[in-house]
Structure 1
Amino acid sequence: MGIHSPQNYMAFAAFGFHPVGASVPWLPSGVRVGLPANFNSTPDNMVGITNRVVLINGKPVEWESTSGAALKEALMFSPEAQRFALARKVAWLQDSGPLLHATVAPACLAGACAYGVGVKQVFGLYGGSAVLRAVVSLLALALGAVSYVLASGAVSQRLDCRSDWCAASLSQDYAKGGLEFYDKLLSRNRTLRTLMGPKGKQMYAPNGNLFPASLLMLRHAPYTTRRDKITSLLKDGKA
Structure 2
Amino acid sequence: MAALSVAGYGIVDTMYFREDDRLVLTPYNFLLYNLSSENLAQHGLHPRWLHLVVNLPMLTWIIFNIVLSLLFGVLHQGGVVPSLLRLHGLINGESSSNGSAIVYWRTYMPPRHLLGIPEHDVVSGRVRVTDLAGAPPDQVENTLVSLISHRKNTTLYIVTPPFAMQALQSPLSACFAVEKHLFPHLDMDHIPESLEVGWPEGLTLGIYVADSDCIEGHAFSIAH
User: TM-score scaled by structure 2?
Assistant: 0.29
* Structure in which a larger fraction of residues adopt strand: 2
Larger Rg: 2
